[in-house]
Structure 1
Amino acid sequence: MLCVLVCHDGDQWLSTALSALRRQRIRPRHVIAVDTGSTDRTPAVLKKALLAEAGDLLDGVLTLPRGTGFGAAVRVAVEHAVDRWGDPGRWLWLLHDDSAPEPDCLAALLTAAEVSPSAAVLGPLCLDWVDSRLVVEAGLSTDSSGHRQTGLSSAEHSASFQQSTEVLAVSSAGSLIKREVWHSLGGYDEAMPLLRDDLDFGWRVNRAGHLVLCVPVARMRHARAATKGARRLDAAMARPGPSFRGVDRAHGMRTFLVNCSGFSFFIGLPRLLFLSLLRALGFLLLRRFADAHAEAGAARYLLTRGRLREGRRARRGSAVVRGLFTSRLTRFRNALHAGAAFLIRRRVEADAALGRLPATDAGSTWLEPSEVDSRSFGPDALPAGAARGRPRVAGLRRPPVVVPVDADLPGAPRPTPRPRPSPGPRAASGMVLVEVDQSRVLRSLLLAPPVLLVLGLSLVAVISNWSRLGLDLAGGRLLPVGSLGSVWSTYLASWHPVSGGTAAPAPAALAFLGLMPGGPSFAVALLLLGDIPLAALSAYIASRGMRVRRSVRAVVAALYGLLPVSTTAVAEGRLDVVVVHVVTPLVFAGVYAVLRASSTHAWLPMASGTAIGVAVLGAFSPLTHVLVIVGALAGFVAVSGGARRIAALFAIVLLPMALLLPWPAVLLQHPEMVLNGLGAAFESPPPDLIVCSVFVAAAFAAAVLRPNASMLPGLLVLVLAVGALAAVTAVGAWPGAPLVVAAWGLVWVVLAGCQRGVAPGVAGQARVRRAVSVAGVVTLVSLGVAGFLDLRGGPLRAGGGPALSQSLTAELARTGRSVLVVGPSVRQVAGRMPAFGDDDLVPTVSSPARLRRWNSSLLDGAPPAVKVALAQAASSGVSFVVLPSAEASSRVRDAAGELVSVAPPASDGRPVLRLRFAADTGVLLAPDVARRARTGGEPPAEPAAAGVSPVNLSLPDVAVRVSAGGEGRVLVLAAEDEPGWRVWVDGVQVPVVRAWGHLVGVPLPSSAAEVRVEVESTLRDFLLLGQAAAGLFTLLTAVPSRRRGA
């Protein structure tokens, strides 16, 4: 047998590898070491091993250039052995300088080869270099994308490593290869000097009709220095090298393409190129530029230096190896297990932060090379614990079922009766290996506090909102939410046919709803119906930085989720308060994290993510937006920091303003909208503050029992909320948003009082702890019952709100005329019924008074006032009037006579009247009627008035040709006159005239003319472009980058 040991800058592992080779129960006949231009102590270590007094471990040392690949090094060694000894043996045993086989590794491989004569390549089970219980490779495989698979499956238990299994390939480290098969296949493909050459060779061996076996009873520790980045890939310096990922992806895809079938190659080449470019784009978005460069370099390698055609011609054999590949189902299953391991890791990290570490196993001990080389005798040679009784059996643990966790360990060991693996204290940080079994998965995933929190509160929310379950909620302060297309068209429109027409920008909330997955209706339903669990989960996540037990965090988060103000807001359709309830914890926690971030933290993703949350708050509740900005500025003054923190603060303050453009300009012009929030006009009594006092009592108790400095942020939030509450109460607005912010400040105080490490004081007594626990449970149950009773009522219902009959809806959409809804809140909308966001559009100056006058006249029922109101409404484009009751409809019909007719009622039973006037979205007035319209007269209250010719126009952009007529004619549009309207007649811009006191009029000549009308929107378009640019920048920078050392 010939053993070939390939070395390259591996002096830190080489001594251990040589010692392991020396202690083999069956030693190879010949051992040749190949040094590929090492620049460290590797040549000296090999020279020492070559000396006679070292036991003649090595039969020779070959030195090759630094850029020599692994396959080329083995080929040179084999040729040298053949020239030197003629027949160096039937088998080749390949070793890396960072691999240390166990004493019986070679014997086990040879035994397996005798049992399976058809096996041409055999490989050991690769164990972790530090902890030999950790399996890192059990054979190799690949998938259709060229990704290397290590043969580890989450479905298998560690006890399954007992039988030899047929695999696609084995790692080159420790592989035992028949020399005749090696020669017949030409050894490793030197086109791939490093990485995936072993996978390619194993695939070719299988295609040649031989077996490749993984022998688990043969075990070897492997440091995987190249994989972990512990040394450079000097043999693959050309692109896509020396990047490990670039070489790995390039050689992995090449291995698949040169060994697959012709059909798979024909389909796979464009597919892999496309996927590589797609992954490169994804990595660019994640700001993982090195990975993006590697993917692009791998694609370029396939197209230029991959030598795919030459490689496919050199492959021989046609044996089917389909069953040895990694299927998509296996990859999906492993991904699920990786997700579970991630969640378990996060839980252990949280427990470690609280000082609670899982019990570790001292059964695995790592020996330094010097300790390996030194022989022990007598009792000192026994393993730890062997003298106490029966030997301990340590099972293998595999990466999918072992979670390594970086934890901050105590600086000094605690007294314990158990022996320690080290006589000295542990370092300040270390790694904890947590064994994952079914019971831990059940406890960590299914019975975890956040899971129970979400499931329990979701059940409460579903039961409480059972009568309103649906995706088309409306009622109270929530008007019906339109479809995705209608929401975006409304937001991007330069002119809105609401309240007679307005060019004011639409609220930014429409854009956020349009971006939500599932569509606007689904997003609104999810927020309202899932407010309780979503807000509780938000509070739980926001408190993850505090050293508080997870169960305590879950209980406090549940109390926040059941906030009485929020349940009232849900029942009344107050979407603005619900959004504040859900987003506030995350936003304030983000601001706190930005202010407290050190220079080692990635401040930009943190600041950008917080800016998105602040923008969401500003879109739905401008008052809360102001509170967050004031709180951030106050925290900036109170906490000192460097330039990065200043930049992050500016990002939190300025980015949300850019994300909300052009909405902030509207708020500056109309500051009263800051206090009222977003939503339809709706009157309701203020929430019950007595129930809310529970949070005040809890925070007061926490401040008294366990006062500490970490309560200050919560107290600052509370002070800001109290000031906002006073301002809202002064103007008579509903105080929901300030109360929610105040509740979060109180919750923060409570959580700060529950932190670990705070002097317990009186709270440390057992009776006090029991009393607090009982009070918390009682409060939670009480709030749950109160929330259930509160949610059972309220005007919010499913069904999409009131709607006109199908025929009237189709007519409105076709003609573009308006519907006037009369009642406590009067609304005029063209082309449809009122929808979400209409009440937040700023109307023209004259519109509110005009609508109130029409509402009062129609409800009073006085005949002269009714006729004037109906005539004015018809001239403004109104085609249908929805009245609040049958009595009001009867009075209007009696007063109007033939000016109205009965139309099909609305879906909620309210009567609808059709106006019988000569009107449309535009009318052409004769000179005498035009003169009256321009001088402030009233529209004619007649069904077919002379001198009035209806014209159906598509507002606001009008392009129409008018025939010749009398001098002084006027084309009147059913749109409110405001700055921004521009009119051209025969290409010449003319001033707009005001008709009937408030409508847009176009003066016409007596000759035929081309008329063009539009609304100026240049500034608004630039602001929307700025908003889009800011949104793209924020989304790209909000993606968290990979943690250092990941």
Structure 2
Amino acid sequence: MLCVLVCHDGDQWLSTALSALRRQRIRPRHVIAVDTGSTDRTAKVLAEAGDLLDGVLTAPRGTGYGTALRIAVDHAVERWGDPGKWLWLLHDDSAPEPDCLAALLTAAEVSPSAAVLGPLCLDWVDSRLVVEAGLSTDSSGHRQTGLSSAEHSASFQQSTEVLAVSSAGSLIKREVWHSLGGYDEAMPLLRDDLDFGWRANRSGHLVLCVPVARMRHARAATKGARRLDATMARPGPSFRGVDRAHGMRTFLVNCSSSSFLVGVPRLLFLSLLRALGFLLLRRFADAHAEVGAARYLLTRGRLLQGRRARRGSAVVRGLFTSRLTRLRNAVRAGATFLIRRRVEADAALGRLPATDSGSAWLEPSEVDSRLVGPSALPAGASRGRPRVAGLRRPPVVVPVDAALPGALRPSPRPRPSPGPRGDSGMVFVEVDQSRVLRSLLLAPPVLLLLSLSAVAVIANWSRLGLDLAGGRLLPVGSAGSVWSTYLSSWHPVFGGTAAPAPAALAVLGLIPGGPSFAVAMMLLGDIPLAALSAYIASRGLRVRRSVRAVVAAFYGLLPVATTAVAEGRLDVVVVHIVTPVVFAGVYAVLRASSTHAWLPMASGTAIGVAVLGAFSPLTHVVVIVGALGGFIAVTGGARRIAALFVIVLLPMGLLLPWPAVLLQHPEMVLNGLGAAFESPPPNLIVCSVFVAAAFAAAVLRPNASMLPGLTVIVLAVGALAAVAAVGAWPGTPLVILAWGLVCVVLAGCQRGVTPGVAGQARVRRAVYVVGVVTLVSLGVAGFLDLRTGPLKADGGLALNASLTAELERSGRSVLILGSPVRQVAGRMPAFGDDDLVPTVSSPARLRRWNSSLLDGAAPAVKVALGQAASSGVTFVVVPSEEASARIRSAAGELVSEAPRALDGRPVLRMRLVADTGVLLAPDLARRARTGGEPPSELGADGVAPVNVSLPDVAVRVSPGGEGRVLVLAAEDEPGWQISVDGAQVPVVRAWGHLVGVPLPSGGAEVRVSVSSTLRDFLLLGQAAAALFTLLTAVPTRRRGVPGAPPQTPPI
């Protein structure tokens, strides 16, 4: 047997590797070391091991692994003629166990068809962790081991047929080595072992992973502990670049012809797609590696030459990792992650599993136990060659870090452990999967979500649907209509306004599923979503999960929130759901250390603050004030200052141009978002339970962690006083107050808090009883609140289908009488209309029309109808049949009945000339410009309807008399631009409030538009802020210390 040890700058591991080689129970006949230009102490260490080595060969520093092996094998053949039947390949960072070579030879003797055998590769520091158990690949060239981040070595017992084994410790028949030409020297490092194993399988040879043979492997190149000097040219020396390039090349040169033809463009496209994804994740090195790998395939890959050099026609099946297997691996990895998190949480609280049949600490003897007898035979020992899909999987054994911080230990000193305490601080817990599955399904957050979801569904059963409207919620349109409204420079509401649309429309337009789905989920699922938000926000507190779940249920069943749902107060509902995570994010940013990834945390919090600001400007102000106060009270470094600027300024950019509207109309900050709706104040008797609970927690278990909650309470009280001063509904500040009280209660429930009074056991029992009774009471109160209220799933006010089609086709207006009165053109009222800022004269004008039509005498009714017709009103929706009869009686022939609205309200059609534009004769034009009233009789002379599309108008007017005026059904306000035959002309105000265009006596081309330069500039700023936020909010992958070498274990 010939053993070849290849070395390259590995003096920190080489001594251990040589010691392990010297302690082999069966020693190789010949041992040759190859030093590929090491610049450390490698040459000296090899010289000191002269009694073990039969020779030390040197090669240039850029020599690849396959070339070094060829040099050693050629030297051995030239020197000894026949150096042996087998080749045993070793790295300078690999240390085989004493019986490793003997186990490999035994497996080869039992399975004569095996040509390539590899040991089970263990972690260099902790031999209980398996890092490699055979190799495979998928159709994208990704290296697959079939292992999670840490598998237990005792779980691997039987030899398994695999696609390839690692080059470290592999045992290869020399004749197979020569027949296959050794490792492909076109790949100096990485994936050469996978390529060789694939070629061996294609040639009809058996490749086995023998877990009885074990070897520690530091994986220095993989961990970045040394440079890849053999791949200095592109795509090297980046490990990621070389790994991806050689991985894709390995797949392409060994796959079938059809896979090759499809694979080349597919892999190039996927590489560019992954590079784009890495750029979005700010993993620039990985993105560069993907681009470099694609360039390598196109330029230096030598794919056709490599395919021609491959021999063998055997079909290799069952040894690759399919997409289904990768999906199964991902699901299993997710389940293992949840199990590990659960066990680590129990370990942090001092509740490690007991030694029973379900889950137990592994004894050292159990860790090292191995199968014997027939069950330990390798896969090739039996008749035939059964193919095993993928790699063998062990049972669930979870590694847990035992080196817990002192603050998390249940006692000042570490508890005794039945498992070994090595340098890695790692212990293994064998977990009963069914038991863990039951604990996960019955976990407090799962029960919390399911139970409150059931309550929400039952309570909202009568309004289940996506077309919710009523109370303060107007119907929400489709995604297209919502975005059209948000991006439009002019809105046909209140007679027309150029005010910016509320930012809430953009938020709803971005939510997957559409705006209607988003609104329905938030309103109908407010209780479980708010409770889940509170549970997640409290995860940083050392409180039992059951206690957190109960307190979160209290918050989810907040009476003011259930009332807000029943009344369609979407602003309060959003505050109820988002407030916990936003305040938790602000606290995390203020307390973050310099080692944390502060930018993703701050940007993510800024997104939450912007969502709150879009629906509730008052909550936005409260959060900003709280962040500034926390910044002053809590000391920190320069990064915390930058994070504060992100939290304060970035949401303003995300909401542009909406903050400018709020600065001009500060009353909207206190009134919130939504239609005007009168309702009694919420019941504060039930809310007082939260105050009592927080007071009890502060008295019984006072501690410093209550300060953030107390700060939120102070801010909420200030907001409540401001809202009460203007008579607005106090739902938003009450929700903020409730969250502050919840924070105080949770802070008092933390572990390790010194009680403030004696008799804790009796008090605790009383608290449990009162808590259960209160929770049930809140559930009943919330259920009763949700069963009533104006919110319904009927889509809101809608006209007959024929009238709706006519309205959309003509662009004319509908006037809806009542409280409040609305005028909308081209459609029915929709969400966000009542938050648009009307022109100065519009509110008074609409109230005057409403009063005249519902309560006025016949002359006042006719005047109001004439004015409405001049503003483009075609249909009038009347609140009752009695009011409709009075209007028809007073108006006479000016109106006629139309099909009723879908909710039964009467609808009247205007018979006066009404359109989006009218052309007035000179006499009537003079009357319009001097403040006269529009004509209120049928067949009035001097009025010609002109149907135009507002706000961008382009018409050609025929010749006529001097002094004519084209009147548009749009309110006059700054920003209108008019050109007649290319010349700019000033706007003429008609009938006291409409846009008028003076016309010459001859024919003229008229163009009208609304200037939106400033608004467009603000929208560009919003887009830039959104792009920056999305790019920086993506969490970066946690990395270890680059270049940190693995520790060396004693042997």
**What band does the TM-score fall into relative to the shorter chain?**
over 0.9
The answer to whether residue 691 in structure 2 is matched with residue 696 in structure 1 is yes
Q: Which moved more, 1:173-182 or 1:116-125?
A: 116-125
2:404 maps to 408
1:861–1:883 Cα change, 3 Å: same
SS of equivalent residue, structure 2 residue 771:
helix
Structure 1 stretches of 5 or more lacking a match? 52-56, 366-381, 387-392
**Count of aligned residue pairs for this structure pair:** 1013
Residue 718 of structure 2 corresponds to residue 715 of structure 1: no
CA 1:949 to 1:237, structure 2 compared with 1: closer, same or farther past 3 Å? Answer: same
Question: By how many angstroms is 1:323 displaced?
Answer: 2.1
Per the alignment, do residues 283 and 156 of structure 1 end up closer, same or farther by CA in structure 2, a change over 3 Å counting?
A: closer
Alpha-carbon offset, residue 685 of structure 1: 0.5
Does the residue aligned with 1:798 lie in a helix, a strand or coil? coil
1:748 corresponds in structure 2 to: 743
Q: Percent identical across equivalent pairs?
A: 86
CA RMSD of aligned residues (A): 2.5
The answer for the alignment partner of 2:870 in structure 1 is 875
Match of 1:232 in 2: 227
Matches of residues 594-673 of structure 1 in structure 2 within 5 Å?
594-673=589-668
- The residue type equivalent to 2:661 in the other structure is V
Distance 1:578 1:208, change over 3 A: same
| Cα distance change on mapping 1:413 and 1:849 into 2, 3 Å | closer
Tell me the amino acid that sits aligned with residue 150 of structure 1: T
Query: For 2:267 and 2:889, how far apart are their aligned partners in 1?
Result: 76
Q: CA deviation at 1:973?
A: 0.3
Report the counterpart of residue 104 of structure 2 in structure 1: 109
Deviation at residue 37 of structure 1 after TM alignment: 2.5
Look up the match of 2:940.
945
Superposed CA deviations along residues 693-725 of structure 1, whole A, max 9, x for unmatched, are: 111011101100111111111111111111110
Contact 2:396 2:433 in 1 (8 A): no
8 Å CA contact retained: 1:721, 1:742: yes
Structure 1 residues 204 and 279: alpha-carbon distance in aligned structure 2, compared to 1, 3 A threshold:
same
Distance (whole Å) between structure 2 residues aligned to residue 16 and residue 362 of structure 1: 30
Indicate how the Cα distance of structure 1 residues 47 and 773 shifts in structure 2: closer, same or farther if over 3 A, else same: farther
Instruction: Name the structure 1 match of 2:67.
Output: 72
**Correspondence 1:449 to 2:436:** no
> 2:702·2:755 contact (CA, 8 Å) conserved in 1?
no
Tell me: CA distance 1:510–1:401, structure 2 relative to 1, closer, same or farther (3 Å): farther
Alpha-carbon distance change, 602 to 828 in structure 1, aligned in 2, over 3 angstroms: same
Aligned to 2:44: 44
1:607–1:651 contact (8 Å) kept in structure 2 = yes
Whether the 8 Å contact between 1:548 and 1:756 is mirrored in structure 2 is yes
- Note closer, same or farther for the CA distance 1:400–1:993 as it changes in structure 2 (3 Å cut): farther
Partner in structure 1 of residue 249 of structure 2: 254
> Aligned letter for 1:8?
H
User: Residues 432 and 517 from structure 1, CA distance in 2 versus in 1: closer, same or farther, beyond 3 angstroms?
Assistant: farther
CA shift at 1:505, angstroms? 0.5
* CA deviation string 1:313-348 (max 9, x = no partner): 111122111321100001001111222233334444
Once the two structures are superposed, residues 193-245 of structure 1 have per-residue CA deviations (whole angstroms, 9 ceiling, x without a partner) of 11100000011111112221222332222222222222222222222222111
Measure the CA separation in 2 of the matches of 1:762 and 1:190: 76
Instruction: Output the amino acid matched with 2:831.
Output: F
Q: Is the 8 A contact 1:627 1:720 kept in 2?
A: yes
Instruction: Tell me how far apart the structure 2 counterparts of residues 9 and 828 of structure 1 sit (CA, whole Å).
Output: 80
Which of 66, 89, 92 lines up with 1:94 in the alignment? 89
Which residue pairs with 1:2 in the alignment? 2
Query: How far apart are residue 972 of structure 1 and its match?
Result: 0.4
Distance 2:707 2:71 in 1: 71
Pairing partner for 1:1016 from 1011, 1021, 1031: 1011
Determine the structure 1 residue equivalent to 2:11.
Answer: 11
Q: Does 1:287 align with 2:282?
A: yes
CA shift, 1:147, in A, is 0.3
Q: Equivalent residue for 2:556? A: 561
CA contact (8 A) 2:155 2:395 kept: no
Deviations 1:133-157 (A, max 9, x none): 3222221110000000114489999
Instruction: Identify the range of structure 1 (566-575 vs 634-643) with the bigger mean alpha-carbon deviation.
Output: 634-643
Which of 261, 264, 278 is the matching residue for 1:269?
264
In structure 2, the residue matched to 1:330 is: 325
Partner of 1:146: 141
Residue of 184, 196, 205 corresponding to 2:191 = 196
* AA in 2 matched with 1:34: V
Checking the alignment, whether the CA contact within 8 Å between 1:402 and 1:433 is kept in structure 2 is yes
Q: What are the Cα deviations for residues 983-1019 of structure 1, in whole angstroms up to 9, with x where unaligned?
A: 1111111111111111111111111111111111111
The alpha carbon displacement at 1:158 in A equals 8.1
**Larger displacement relative to structure 2 (107-116 or 668-677):** 107-116
Q: Which residue pairs with 1:370 in the alignment?
A: none
CA distance in 2, matches of 1:929, 1:668: 41
Higher RCO, Cα 8 Å, sep 6+: 2
Q: Would you say the 8 A contact 1:866–1:896 is kept in 2?
A: yes
Aligned partner (choices 947, 950, 974) of residue 979 of structure 1? 974
The one-character-per-residue Cα deviations of 1:551-588 (angstroms, maximum 9, x if unpaired) are: 22121111111111111111111000011111111111
Contact 1:34 1:64 in 2 (8 A): yes
Which shifted more, 150-159 or 59-68? 150-159
For residue 840 of structure 2, give the secondary structure of its aligned residue in structure 1: coil
> Counterparts of 2:130 and 2:582 in 1: how far apart (Å)?
42
Q: Is the contact between residue 984 and residue 1013 of structure 1 (CA under 8 Å) also seen in structure 2? A: yes
Q: Match of 2:279, as an amino acid? A: L
Measure, in 2, the Cα distance between the counterparts of 1:779 and 1:12. Answer: 65
Q: Distance in 2 between matches of 1:840 and 1:693?
A: 33
Contact 1:403 1:436 in 2 (8 A): no
Displacement after TM superposition at 1:651 (Å): 1.4
1:832 paired residue among 827, 832, 835 = 827
Amino acid at match of 2:505: L
Q: Report what 1:245 is aligned to.
A: 240
Question: 1:116 offset after TM fit, Å?
Answer: 2.6
Counterpart-to-counterpart distance in 2, 1:666 and 1:432: 59
Q: In the TM superposition, what is the alpha-carbon distance from 1:604 to its structure 2 partner?
A: 1.4
Q: TM-score, normalised by structure 2?
A: 0.93
Q: Deviations over 1:733-787 (max 9, x none)?
A: 1001000011111111111111223213437832222222232222222212211
Aligned to 2:387: none
Question: Is residue 573 from structure 1 mapped to residue 549 from structure 2 by the alignment?
Answer: no
Q: Which of 988, 999, 1002 pairs up with 2:997?
A: 1002
Q: Which residue of 1 aligns with 2:804?
A: 809
CA–CA distance in structure 2, aligned partners of residues 383 and 791 of structure 1: 58
In 2, distance between residues paired with 1:288 and 1:1017? 39
Q: Is the 8 A contact 1:706 1:763 kept in 2?
A: no
1:21 paired with 2:21, answer yes
SS in 2 for 1:217: strand
Match of 2:206 in 1: 211
CA contact (8 A) 2:858 2:891 kept: yes
Structure 2 Cα separation of the partners of residues 560 and 383 of structure 1? 47
**Cα distance in 2 for residues equivalent to 1:183 and 1:576:** 75
Q: Which moved more, 1:93-102 or 1:569-578?
A: 93-102
The residue type paired with residue 298 of structure 2 is: L
* Aligned residue number for residue 954 of structure 1: 949
Are the aligned partners of 2:97 and 2:215 in contact in 1 as well (CA < 8 Å)?
A: yes
* Aligned counterparts of 1:42 and 1:755: Cα–Cα separation in 2: 55
Higher mean Cα deviation, 332-341 or 561-570?
Answer: 332-341
Equivalent residue for 1:779?
Answer: 774
Report if aligned partners of 1:154, 1:401 keep a CA contact under 8 Å in 2.
no
Matching residue of 1:788:
783
CA distance change for structure 1 residues 399 and 878 in 2, over 3 Å: closer, same or farther?
farther
User: 1:652-685: per-residue Cα shift (whole Å, max 9, x none)?
Assistant: 1111111111111111111110100000111111
Residues 919-958 of structure 1 deviation map (CA, whole Å, 9 limit, x = unaligned): 2000001111111111111111123221110010000010
Give 1:442 deviation, angstroms: 1.2
Structure 1 residues 764, 643: closer, same or farther in 2, change over 3 A? farther
Superposed displacement of residue 117, structure 1: 2.3
